[in-house]
């Protein structure tokens, strides 16, 4: 989870919280958020490769509206 709304480079991944290692490359995956985690402070989710310093994918987060 990163504070940047869009991840375009390594600089966008400076302020982040790691939720865990990627569990696989197929299907849905769930990662628990740490206690007291402020979801409103983070703007996107990133699959980041530490050894190569690159993002393999990212998604912007937005509040759910409507009913």
Query: Which residues in 16-27 are b (16+ Cβ under 10 Å) and which e?
Result: beeeeeeeeeee
Domain ranges of the chain: 1-19+39-67
Q: How far apart are CA 54 and CA 18, in angstroms?
A: 15
Position 50 scores a pLDDT of 85
Q: What is the pLDDT of residues 7-62, one digit of tens each?
A: 888 888 888 999 999 888 888 899 999 999 998 999 999 998 889 888 888 999 98
């Amino acid at each position: 989870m990163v504070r940047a709304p869009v991840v375009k480079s390594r600089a966008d991944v400076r302020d982040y919280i790691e939720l865990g290692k990627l569990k696989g490359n197929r299907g849905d995956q769930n990662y628990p958020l740490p206690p007291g985690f402020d979801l409103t402070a983070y703007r996107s989710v990133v699959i980041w490769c530490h050894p190569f310093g690159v993002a393999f994918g990212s998604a912007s987060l937005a509040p759910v509206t409507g009913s």
